[in-house]
Amino acid sequence: MRAFSHPGPETFLLERVLHALSDPVRLGIVRQLAREGEASCGALDGGRPKSSVSHHFRVLREAGLVWTRSDGVTHMNALRRAELDRRFPGLLAAIVDTEALSSGPC
């Protein structure tokens, strides 16, 4: 189960990244990772079934958004911020920093 396949930055596809971020669950995960730096899958499941959460993490990984490492029995996930910033400058910042506007109690 160890050693996930993480795509190299040169194969990142903007369309794929945007699709991964267009799902509310995944957008929430990415934002929480942006705040907290690293977290296990369980800490980000929001009460959802494990299979659903696992699916979302796979999409995030395959888009290049998230890096997953095994730490004992848990999987720790982190944003691939540096690589994403190099590949798509300003994108992650623009998406993570609009939180107050787009999820605030209007």
Partner DNA sequence: TCGATAGTTCTATACTGATCGAACGATGGC
Partner DNA sequence: GCCATCGTTCGATCAGTATAGAACTATCGA
Establish if 49 lies at the interface with DNA (CB under 7 A). yes
Q: Which of 13, 14, 18, 50 binds DNA (CB under 7 A)?
A: 50
By rule CB under 7 A, what count of residues binds DNA?
29
Where on the chain is the footprint of a second copy (CB under 8 A)?
A: 10, 12-16, 18-19, 21-24, 27, 87-91, 93-95, 97-98, 101-102, 106
Edge-first strand order for the sheet with 74-79 is 38-40, 74-79, 66-71
Amino acid identity of residue 33, one-letter, is L
Euclidean distance between CA atoms 104 and 48, whole angstroms: 23
> From CA 65, how far away is CA 84, in angstroms rounded?
7
What is the biggest distance separating any 2 CA atoms in the chain, rounded to whole angstroms?
43
Closer residue to a second copy in complex, CB, 76/85: 85
Nearest to 6 by CA among 57, 62, 83: 62
36 binds, among a second copy, DNA, none (CB under 5 to 8 A by kind): none
Region binding DNA by CB under 7 A among candidate stretches 6-14, 73-81, 82-90, 98-106: 73-81
Give the interface with DNA as residue ranges (CB under 7 A).
1-2, 4, 19, 23, 25, 40-43, 45, 48-59, 68, 70, 72-75
